[in-house]
Amino acid sequence: MPGYGKKYDVIGIGVLVSDIFVQGASIGFFSYAIGHEARSFIGLEEGSKGKAAIIMHTGGSSANCLAALKYANPDLDVAYFTLLGIGRFSDVLYNDQKQRGIDVSGIVRRNNFQPGTSIILTSGRHSAGRDRAILTHYGSSDYLTDDDFLANEEFLRSARWLDISSFKEETVDPLLRFIERLKKESQGVKIFLAPSASMIEPKKEAVKEMLRHADVLVLNDLEAQYLADEEDMEKATIKLQRSGPRK
């Protein structure tokens, strides 16, 4: 059981999508010069037809993190907060979270919203995933509102940690306002923040504000450079540390 009077060890806040992996040896690489820049692409030759293996998983950075935590330590109490539609495909994502042992009582359900989907195109030649391209539709998860956060604020405050991963655009400002309220009335909730480039690019200033309240910040090199407006990684790291995150 969680300590410090909290109901949950971790609540994840993020997208919930169907990851569809399309893998085939006929998927190739193409290089073109666009202006003065050389660009590489992955795909099929126009008009061709190739065999492929299709694998489907539930995805989303925070959702995957919770699943890994629960697998490693089944005694952890974990829950998820996001927005899903009402329908067969949304039900698959919802039920998969339940099967993983993740509390779904905080998942908001509403009509007229499609669940998110990522299509990952890969040849499978490189295990590190360097030969892949991803198309993502964030779907319902990116339409959480201020009212959704306010209605579930008691639930969200009942965690020791909030694992906040990437949203696209619409949810970022309501998320920032929630974080500011949370930290203003601090009740021992810590924030693990992992914004992706797709969140940083349209909402860089809002994400920078979130840094002031984060306890842990996780970024890859490109995300760090972009968020810090600094190409030198050492300088980018120093700038981000001075922005507020403790780790």
CA dist 202 and 26 (Å) reads 35
| Of 118, 117, 119, nearest in space to 140 by CA | 117
- Burial (CB < 10 A; 0-12, 13-18, 19+), residue 141, is buried
Q: Where are the beta strands (DSSP E) in the chain?
A: 8-13, 17-23, 28-34, 37-43, 53-59, 78-81, 83-84, 108-109, 116-122, 132-137, 159-164, 190-193, 216-217
pLDDT of residue 50: 78
Predicted confidence band of residue 4 (pLDDT cuts 50, 70, 90): low
C-alpha 74 chain-centroid distance:
22
pLDDT in tens, 61-81: 899 999 999 999 999 999 999
**Is pLDDT at 82 greater than 90 in this prediction?**
yes
pLDDT in tens, 161-177: 999 988 878 899 999 99
Predicted confidence band of residue 45 (pLDDT cuts 50, 70, 90): confident
**Greater confidence, 199 or 244?**
199
Section 202-214 average pLDDT: 92
**Is pLDDT at 53 greater than 60 in this prediction?**
yes
pLDDT of residue 169: 82
DSSP state of 124: S
- Asked if residues 88 and 113 have their Cβ atoms less than 8 Å apart, the reply is no
